[in-house]
Amino acid sequence: GAVVSQHPSWVICKSGTSVKIECRSLDFQATTMFWYRQFPKQSLMLMATSNEGSKATYEQGVEKDKFLINHASLTLSTLTVTSAHPEDSSFYICSARDRADNEQFFGPGTRLTVL
C-alpha cells in the first residue's frame, strides 16, 4: 500500500512556542491531505482538509490562525501549531488521499506534549 510519513514522531515543547509537523506521501501524489487530532481514548477529530495549491478548509471550532496548514506540493503538507499551550497536547495524525483512489492512507502520527 501507499506510504505516508510524518515528522517528527513526538515533540515536547514549552508553552508559547510553535511546532511544525510535516506530512509526506512517499510513493504517490496526494491531491488532498487531512489533519486529525486525537485525544486519549477518543476518536479521530478532523481538523482541516487541505488541497494542493489552495487554502485549507477548517472544521468548525478549529482556529485557522492557530493551526496553520500549508499544502505546497502534491507530496507535502505541514501543520504548524502556533503559540502552543498545554491543552494542545494531543496525537496529531495526517492522512493523504491518492488522486486515483478514495482510500485515505494515514501517517504514523505525531505526539505533541506542551509543558
Residue 7 lies near other proteins (rule: CB under 8 A): no
Placement of cell 494542545 in the chain: 88
Select 49 or 80, whichever has its Cβ closest to other proteins.
49
Residue span binding other proteins (CB under 8 A) among the ranges 17-25, 38-46, 60-68, 79-87 = 38-46
Strand partners, 20: 80
Spatial CB neighbours of 60, under 8 Å, sequence gap ≥ 6: none
Residue 53 lies near other proteins (rule: CB under 8 A): no
Q: Is 59 helix (H, G, I), strand (E, B) or coil?
A: coil
What single letter denotes the amino acid at residue 1?
G
Q: Which residues bind other proteins (CB under 8 A)?
A: 1, 32, 34, 42-44, 46, 49, 91, 93, 97, 102-109, 111
